[in-house]
Structure formats: structure tokens, C-alpha cells
Amino acid sequence: MKALKIAIQKSGRLNEKSVELLKNCGLSFENYKSSLITSVANFPLEILFLRDDDIPEYVQDGIADLGIVGENVIKEKEVSVEYLQALGFGKCTLKIAIPKEKPLNYIDDLNGKSIATSYPIILQKFLDQHQIKADIRTISGSVEIGPGLGLSDAICDIVSTGSTLRNNGLEPFADVLSSQAILIGKKDIKEHSVVEELLQRVQSVLRAKE
Ligand code: ATP
Ligand code: ZN
């Protein structure tokens, strides 16, 4: 049988937990940091190690059949993939934050303001839902320094502990998206017997953790 492929993050916040989950599912493989692909000895699956940003498109396009990636990345890429299972790790929240010394009271107060973010698609949808017209400044990283440099009035970024915000004189203002790691699949792959088997194992690992 031709092995299916699952894409997981090569290194970063989701790598270790993704590897651990697959191992807890009884899959036996070498976690070669240097190779991009590794095969599983006792299950018809190959593991691709990729940058998280590439995973949704690889799965949508069928280069990988399955993937493990944050919901924040899936939503930002606007891909068409199936959510097979929320995995309960990689939890974080995409938030709008504002400078402490320039507080706002209501969501509507964002009208006419500029917001720096690496998540322009998700942010635009949020603003549309609230009928707010703001100027989105897309930057690829370190968005927290935006307000201090006069680049933007606010930011929209992933927050977990809030210490990066505080260190940059910012405070949380509004929650935009709660995210966690999701097992995704390309269209119709859920019916594949190998995926059914893997999904059952994943679900029993998750139940054992409850
Ligand atoms: P890559 O090199 O694969 O592109 P990255 O630097 O974009 O990695 P990481 O910082 O490793 O990404 O984060 C991966 C995912 O972990 C995020 O997309 C998000 O879903 C989740 N996550 C959980 N907590 C946090 C956090 N505190 N900050 C950022 N991401 C977090
Ligand atoms: Zn990334």
C-alpha cells in the first residue's frame, strides 16, 4: 500500500508535541532533524517536516494528505482543508493590543486607527464583522514594536503569557481568535482506512489525557 503523508512542523512550538502525539499513537519513526521526510516502520505513513506556514497549502494541494498546524495559520491561509481533530496543544490567542498610555474604551474606537499585524486576513474579517474601518499594516514579525516606533496605533498578534506585550508598553484590548493545533486532512481523506485508524488512535490518546 502506498504510504500516506502527514506534514508536521520541522522545528518550533508545535514540533515536539506533534512528534509526541504520533509516538503515543504507537508510530515508530526516527525524528531525524536533518531530513525533510521520514517513514514510519510500523504504519503506512510518511512524515514530512515543514515550516508551519507551508502546511495548510501542502495539504490543500494534496502534496501531504494530513497535517498538524495551528488554527491561526489555517485561517490566515484561507485554504480548503478538513478539520479532523482539535489536538488540545499549541493553545494561544490572537489579540488586538494597544499602548497602555493611549487607552481605548470600545471596539468602535479602532475606527480610523492603524493596526500592525502578520495576520491581515483574519484581522480584516474581524474588523468587517464589527463594521470597523481601520488601516491594516502587514508586517512579518516583531509587530509589538509598531506602536513604540509610531508605525501603528495598535497591533494584532499571538499572545500567550502577555509578557511581550507588557515589555513593549502594550495591553490586551480585544480577542480576535482562540487557536490550538488541529489535525487537518485534504478533501475526502477522512474516508481512507489508514486515516480512520490513525484518527481512532489520536482520539484515544486524547481521551487518556482527559
Ligand atoms: P516556522 O519556522 O515553522 O515558520 P514559526 O516561528 O512561524 O515557525 P512558532 O513560533 O513555532 O512558529 O509557532 C507555531 C505555532 O504555535 C503558532 O502558529 C501558534 O499556532 C502556536 N503558538 C502557541 N503559543 C504561541 C505563542 N506564545 N506565540 C506564537 N505561537 C504560539
Ligand atoms: Zn511559521
* CATH homologous superfamily for the domain 92-179: Periplasmic binding protein-like II (3.40.190.10)
Do 4-90+181-209 and 92-179 fold alike per CATH? yes
Name the pTM for this structure.
Answer: 0.95
**CA-to-CA distance for 197 and 26, rounded, in angstroms?**
11
Distance, CA of 134 to CA of 117 (rounded, Å) = 12
Low-confidence ranges of the chain (pLDDT < 50): none
Pairing of strands 135-138, 114-117: parallel
Kindly report the average pLDDT of the chain as a whole number.
Answer: 95
From ligand 1's centre to the CA of 13, what distance in Å?
5
Q: Are strands 45-50 and 37-39 parallel, antiparallel or unpaired?
A: antiparallel
Q: Within 10 Å of residue 147's Cβ, how many Cβ atoms? A: 24
Q: Which residue has a Cα nearest atom 4 of ligand 1?
A: 51
Atom of ligand 1 nearest to the CA of 12: 11
Place of cell 515550516: 51
CA of 2 to the centre of ligand 1 (A): 31
Q: Length of the chain in residues, anyone? A: 210
The ipTM assigned to this model is 0.97
Q: Is 72 helix (H, G, I), strand (E, B) or coil?
A: helix
* Homologous superfamily assigned to 4-90+181-209: Periplasmic binding protein-like II (3.40.190.10)
**Domain spans in the chain, listed from the N-terminal domain onward:** 4-90+181-209, 92-179
The predicted-structure confidence for 70-124, as pLDDT tens digits, reads as follows: 999 999 999 999 999 999 999 999 999 999 999 899 999 999 999 999 999 999 9
Tell me which residue of 44, 83, 78 sits closest to 67, measured CA to CA.
83
